[in-house]
């Protein structure tokens, strides 16, 4: 059985992101080896809170599975593939089922399709409950953050970046000189990210800002 590993984390630090996805990939690799799955490809996605629901690497992963006859996508937990709302997640999963692609999440021990390739009886119910729990947790986190910000403002704490903390284009050109050269050589976003040791979101931002 052919498998694809999908690992994701949300972080603003490239090094922190790399360490986190490395752990996920290692755990999922051990699982695949134990199940005698052939790992066809590994996808790693690093996102910030700003683009948490926009997951180009996940989309690329699914398209690869469709075109290469991959049987199953394995992820560390459902929140890694959760697309935001419960309805978005259900729609995403339905797309997998329509393409006969199974999904396994290690934390929840959730498997979308049974041994016959059909949705297990309790899969839709379990998936809905887990997706709802993840969505509620995200809303709770947002509420606490917003509440904390409002309280800080009332206490006179100034929010946002400190004056002078935003880099100019000249400063960015110096800081990301290696990355800019890599992009101008034609390296893809993912390759440039690994070669220059920066997050994918940073590569995409620099690529856009410098019109590369």
8 dihedral zone (left: phi>0; alpha: psi -120 to 50; beta): beta
Q: What tokens appear for 41 in the block?
A: 């490809």
- 65 vs 23: CA distance, rounded Å: 23
pLDDT surpasses 60 at 83: no
Q: What is the DSSP letter of 160?
A: S
Q: Indicate the fold that domain 2-133 takes in CATH.
A: Rossmann fold (3.40.50)
pLDDT surpasses 50 at 13: no
pLDDT of residue 149: 74
pLDDT of residue 138: 63
**CA dist list (Å): 46 to 134, 142, 155, 169, 190:** 19, 20, 34, 24, 10
Would strands 72-75 and 102-105 be described as parallel, antiparallel, or unpaired? parallel
Q: What's the pLDDT tens digit per position in 87-119?
A: 777 888 889 989 999 999 998 888 988 888 887
Q: What's the pLDDT tens digit per position in 134-187?
A: 666 666 766 777 777 777 777 776 666 665 567 788 888 888 888 898 888 888
pLDDT of residue 11: 53
Band of residue 48 on the pLDDT scale cut at 50, 70, 90: low
- 211 vs 166: CA distance, rounded Å: 19
Contacts 24+ apart (CB under 8 A), 11-15: 11/46, 11/48, 11/199, 12/48, 12/199, 13/199, 14/46, 14/193, 14/197, 14/198, 14/199, 14/202, 15/197
- 22 vs 4: CA distance, rounded Å: 15
Q: CB atoms < 10 A from the CB of 47, how many? A: 22
Q: What is the DSSP letter of 114?
A: -
Enter the pTM of the model: 0.60
- The percent of residues above 90 in pLDDT, for the chain, comes to 27
pLDDT surpasses 90 at 52: no
pLDDT of residue 127: 74
Band of residue 81 on the pLDDT scale cut at 50, 70, 90: confident
């Amino acid at each position: 059985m052919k498998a694809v590993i999908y690992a994701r984390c949300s972080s603003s630090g490239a090094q922190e992101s790399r360490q986190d996805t490395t752990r996920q990939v290692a755990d999922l690799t051990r699982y695949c080896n134990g199940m005698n799955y052939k790992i066809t490809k590994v996808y790693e996605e690093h996102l910030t809170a700003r683009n948490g629901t926009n997951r180009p690497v996940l989309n690329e992963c699914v398209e690869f599975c469709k075109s290469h006859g991959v049987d199953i996508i394995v992820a560390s937990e459902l929140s890694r593939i959760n697309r935001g709302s419960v309805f978005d997640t259900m729609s995403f999963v339905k797309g997998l089922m329509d393409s006969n692609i199974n999904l396994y999440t290690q934390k929840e021990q959730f498997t979308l399709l049974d041994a016959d390739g059909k949705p297990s009886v309790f899969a839709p119910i379990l998936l809905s409950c887990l997706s709802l729990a993840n969505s509620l947790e995200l809303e709770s986190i947002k509420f606490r953050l917003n509440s904390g910000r409002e309280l800080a403002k009332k206490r006179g704490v100034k929010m946002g970046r400190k004056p002078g903390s935003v880099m100019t284009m000249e400063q960015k050109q110096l800081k990301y000189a290696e990355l800019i050269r890599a992009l101008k050589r034609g390296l893809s976003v993912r390759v440039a990210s690994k070669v220059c040791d920066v997050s994918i979101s940073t590569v995409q931002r620099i690529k856009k800002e410098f019109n590369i």
